[in-house]
Amino acid sequence: MAKETDNAAAKLETLARHLRAGWKKLYPVSEENLKKVSEAVQRQWDQQQSQTQKKSLSKGKSKSRGHDQAHEY
């Protein structure tokens, strides 16, 4: 019985593959939507880069502050 249900599941998955191919032809992602997605990813990237820069700057500052403090002793 398990073999039969496996067989039926495999046929449903064949249906899935063919439907996906059909949806791709019927609803290709538009240039406009791809542009919106790219812009959002770019904004996120820019934010991440500036945060990373800020972090490394503040790390640098605290290191040099520590260095200065060490010199006081």
Partner 1 sequence: MGQLSELISNYRQAKTLARRLAIVSELICEVGPELEAYAKRRARTQEIAEEVYQETLVVIATNLEKYKGNSDNEFRSWCYTIIRRKLANYMRDEKPDNFESFDESNLRDIIAAGQREISPGVEHDLKYALSLLAAAKPVCAVLLWVYHVLGWTYQAIAEAIGKSYDAVRVQLNRCLHDAQSLMEKSP
- Contact pattern for partner 1 over residues 30 through 59, marking x by CB under 8 A: ---xx-xxx-xxx-xx--------------
Between residues 24 and 59, which has the closer beta carbon with respect to partner 1?
24
Residue type at 25?
K
Part in contact with partner 1 (CB under 8 A); list of ranges 9-17, 51-59, 63-71: 9-17
Tell me the closest approach of the beta carbon of residue 65 to partner 1, in angstroms.
31
- What tokens were used for 61? 């500052």
Measure the CA–CA gap between 60 and 53, rounded to whole angstroms. Answer: 10
Enter the DSSP assignment of 30: P
